[in-house]
Structure 1
Amino acid sequence: MKSTFRHDPFAVLRIPDFRLYVTARLCITLAMQIQAVIVGWQIYEITKDPLSLGLIGLAEALPSIFVSLYAGYVADVVARKKIIVTVISVLLLCSAALLFFTLDVSQVLQQHGVMPIYAVIFLSGLARGFMGPAVFSFMPQLVVSKQLYANAITWSSTTWQAASLAGPALGGLIYGFWGVSIAYTADAILVLLSLVFFSLIASRPLPENANPQNFKDSLRTGLQFVFSNQVILSAISLDLFAVLFGGAVALLPVFASDILNMGPEALGFMRAAPAIGFVLMAVVVAYHPISHNAGKKMLWCVAGFGVCIVLFGLSTNFWFSMVLLALSGAFDSISVIIRSTLIHTLTPEYMKGRVSSVNSIFVGSSNEIGAFESGFTARLMGTVPAVVFGGIMTLLVVGVTAFKADKLRNLDLTPKPEMA
């Protein structure tokens, strides 16, 4: 029989709890993006050292990686909403601390330099290590059908990128016109709003697990699942190395300040540019889901991302750089949607926390590790050669993955009708 499934681009947005979820995610992402712009500019303004920008990513990534596997186990045995609310409370504390450091009554930065900022970022990295698996595995519990996974991922990713579009611009503008304290105040208010919206979502029971395990056995089962599945392993490995080597975002303060000779407002717009491309492409995908030849399209899009990074590194024109950053976001949009859809589709519900934690180590933390790699290579070979090198390495990774991972190359995500 023919499938009676009709694509509705707004299907998941008709679910009240999912609307609360995307609103909460919008707020927390706006807050984190604003904070990233403020912290990056503030630290570079104090140190004038590109490596110090890379150390921001390292300070966040190391604790996140350290707790990630345990966090995945926790997300499979503890109510996911409870984890999310607790983590956002910690992030609110971090935002309040960064704000306090900038007030006249505080002498912390004068006495200790940028180290207190790194300490707060370290604590937020611990929190985000627990947040990733919980949010990843909580989201599919809010939709009613696996056929809605791709739609939910598209809107969730679009929300994240819309905030990534607005957040850096807001952060740069607020910092540039009203100063660092007002910018951190906006950050803290948005974290508080996210906490409120997540609290309003009805709790969901944990999915049934016919074979409950202790932490050690559970962890081994999750790792075996990922490393025995070529499609999942190759997809997350591809994104790992693409983000690791193609992470030019960490060096944007250097490009804005020293190469393009512009201020924090320009930095905000440059950080927002990839999200512009991401959101526009995600809206297209919401209406025209990617299914046929999804694997080949993913590989081509990651290659396109690498080309954009190479050209961005060579650009000395602000508007051309903005276009390249936007295009890199558009290519990244397709890659993220395909990868997230296949992970959600192929992973059992009771195992999603653990699989998400591995994905977080591969992909999520690679943003921060990539930031350190960019800062370190910029210190060694210069900012422009470091970015060009990263883009070329991304293209090399795509070539190796396309040659070795035949199952990913032949991946097809054409939806099948669910049994009544």
Structure 2
Amino acid sequence: MSVKSSSVLHNRSFLRLWIARIFSASAFQILSVTIGWQMYDLTGSAFKLGLVGLAQFLPMLLLTLPAGQTADRYDRRTIVFLCQLMESAVVVLLVIGSMQGWLDPIHLLIAAAILGACRTFEGPASAALVPDIVEREQLPKAAAWSASAMQTAMIVGPSLGGVLVIWGISFAYMTTLVALLVSALLIFFVKTVHFVKKLETISMDTFFSGLRFVFARKIILGTISLDLFAVLLGGATALLPIFAEDILKTGSLGLGLLRSAPAVGAIVVSLILTRYSVEKAIGKTLFASLVIFALATILFGVSRNLWLSLFALFLTGASDVVSVVIRSTLVQVNTPQEMQGRVNAVNSLFIGTSNQLGEFESGTMAGLVGAVPATVIGGVGTLAVAIIWMYGLFPILRTQKTYSVKDGKE
């Protein structure tokens, strides 16, 4: 690791985008936690809790490839801005419904689906904005900053959501509304400085071009598929309400602490990575972070002590940030600017699958065998996937020393 300049943050447009993505991603994660908590409170069902993740995932599965084309065809800043306004409108309805008491499980699932659809279009456009506003030589550092900020937001958001529900569901929803409006305002003032060739037409050929690009380059395919299968199996965050209520018996306050533990780990490591970027032994570092993540997940599953559980979750957050920064930078550096929207869309599909579908898998597994066995099995599965990817399917990941690959096909 070596010390790097943070001059990329001197770019005002990048700084605005960076802050906006933190607000937007945090808001979405708070919404996921709050909707999940409200669903479990209304139904007491682990299966229906998992349906929240499925409702967010299905629009992503159907709309991701069109979203990538849209990001490469139209103004990316406008797409992000409009998506955040639509998300704000959904939150307004959630606030009104919670305060008036007419929200039921169906309403929550519909809201989750609409929010998932908006995020599907917002994600690729937001990620593809980075090459539009920073110099090419700054892209690795910008990707590291973006990945660190996004991952921290993805963990801080749920932890904050767990704390906010203590003051009430409506209060948690109103907090996300403020965050979304702040993000939209910042995006409005982002200025692009580089011309990126846009798609002239949208066709079936361009529809699948992102997928063809990814599958033709082993370094990118291995990177994003590793995220899909490892996090799909290893994510225990969807089960935290069950651990807080039924296993550790700490209630909503305990849920906030459990959510905060990985956030602390993520923030600590993110701050380190923004100053000391990983530049050597990329593959070995990626593998080590995934092993730590898997073992920490298993430790959390078997723990019956709150402090040990918090320590395990701290490790999951810390190790996950390292993994995400490396994977995100590999994809950004090895993708041409004009393909950023479509490739980021494919990447978003894999990430969304691992997160939202992972919540459904965790909820379903917990409903079948219990929360503890489901978490332990997930951790073991993550460890197995990491080993298979590194030593079997994609050895290029294990041997990768730097971010740049000649053409990404090796």
- TM-score norm. by structure 1 comes to 0.91
Which residue of structure 1 lines up, in the alignment, with residue 102 of structure 2?
108
Note if contact 2:47-2:367 (Cα within 8 Å) is conserved in structure 1. Answer: yes
**Equivalent residue, structure 1, for 2:386:** 398
1:245 aligns with 2:236: no
Distance in 1 (CA, whole Å) between partners of 2:270 and 2:111 is 33
Alignment of 1:226-305 (within 5 A): 226-305=214-293
AA at the equivalent of 1:264: S
State the shift of 1:345 in Å. Answer: 0.8
Return the offset for 1:157.
Answer: 2.7
CA distance in 1, matches of 2:155, 2:398: 31
Letter in 1 for 2:203: F
Q: Would you say the 8 A contact 2:6–2:275 is kept in 1?
A: no
- Once the 2 structures are TM-superposed, how far is the Cα of residue 290 of structure 1 from its aligned partner? 1.1
- Structure 1: runs of 5+ lacking an equivalent: 1-5
- 3-state SS of paired residue (1:108): coil
1:285-306 deviations in whole A, cap 9, x for unaligned? 2222112220121122112111
1:358 aligns to 2:346 (yes or no): yes
- Structure 2 residue 131 is the aligned partner of structure 1 residue 140: yes
Cα distance, 1:214 vs structure 2: 3.6
Matches within 5 A, 1:143-292: 143-146=134-137, 148-176=138-166, 178-203=167-192, 207-208=196-197, 214-292=202-280
Would you say the 8 A contact 1:168–1:269 is kept in 2? no
Q: CA deviation at 1:164?
A: 4.0
Amino acid at match of 2:283: G
Question: Contact 1:37–1:268 at 8 Å: present in 2 too?
Answer: no
The one-letter code sitting in structure 1 at the alignment partner of 2:395 is D
Q: 1:319 aligns with which of 297, 302, 307?
A: 307
**Alpha-carbon contact 2:152-2:270 (below 8 Å) kept:** no
CA-CA distance at 1:198 after TM superposition:
0.8
Give the one of 401, 408, 414 matched to 2:397.
408
Residue 241 to residue 165, structure 1, CA distance change in 2 (3 Å)? closer
Residue among 106, 112, 130 paired with 1:121 = 112
Identity among equivalent positions (%) equals 36
Are the aligned partners of 1:133 and 1:357 in contact in 2 as well (CA < 8 Å)? yes
- Counterparts of 1:133 and 1:180 in 2: how far apart (Å)? 30
**Shift, 1:43, TM fit:** 1.1
- Name the CA distance, whole Å, in 1 between partners of 2:73 and 2:190: 19
Give the drift of 1:73: 0.8
Q: How many residues align?
A: 403
Q: Helix, strand or coil: the match of 1:202? A: coil
CA contact (8 A) 1:75 1:137 kept: yes
Deviations 1:15-44 (A, max 9, x none): 111111122122212322322222121111
Q: Distance in 2 between matches of 1:70 and 1:205?
A: 24
| 1:213 positional shift | 5.6
Q: For each residue in 1:70-124, what CA deviation from the matched residue of structure 2 results, as whole angstroms up to 9, or x when unmatched? A: 10011111110011011101110111111111123xx532xxx311011011011
8 Å contact kept, 2:155–2:317:
no
Contact 1:77/1:206, CA 8 A, preserved across alignment: no
Inter-CA distance 215–277: structure 2 relative to 1 (3 Å threshold): farther
- Structure 1 contact 164–272 (Cα < 8 Å) conserved: no
State the SS of the aligned residue for 1:103.
Answer: helix
Deviation at 1:272, TM superposition (A): 2.7
1:3 corresponds to which residue?
none
Q: Contact 2:261 / 2:314 at 8 angstroms: preserved in 1?
A: yes
CA distance 1:406–1:173, change in 2 (3 Å): closer
Matches within 5 A, 1:307-346: 307-346=295-334
Per-residue deviation at 1:126? 0.7
Tell me how far 1:7 sits from its aligned partner: 5.3
d(CA) in 1 for partners of 2:257 and 2:343? 34
Aligned to 1:382: 370
| Separation in 2, partners of 1:214, 1:46 | 44
Amino acid at match of 1:64: M
**Cross-structure match for 2:80:** 84
In the alignment, is the contact (CA less than 8 A) between 2:236 and 2:362 conserved in 1?
yes
Aligned equivalents of 1:16, 1:299: Cα separation in 2:
35
Partner of 1:59: 55
Q: Which amino acid aligns with 1:410?
A: T
Conservation of the 8 A alpha-carbon contact between 1:71 and 1:130 = yes
Provide the C-alpha distance between the structure 1 equivalents of 2:63 and 2:382, rounded to a whole number of angstroms: 27
- Partners of 1:15 and 1:206 in 2: how far apart? 17
**TM-score, normalised with respect to structure 2:** 0.93
1:343 Cα deviation from its structure 2 partner: 0.7
Counterpart amino acid of 1:158? Answer: S
Measure the CA separation in 2 of the matches of 1:325 and 1:26. Answer: 21
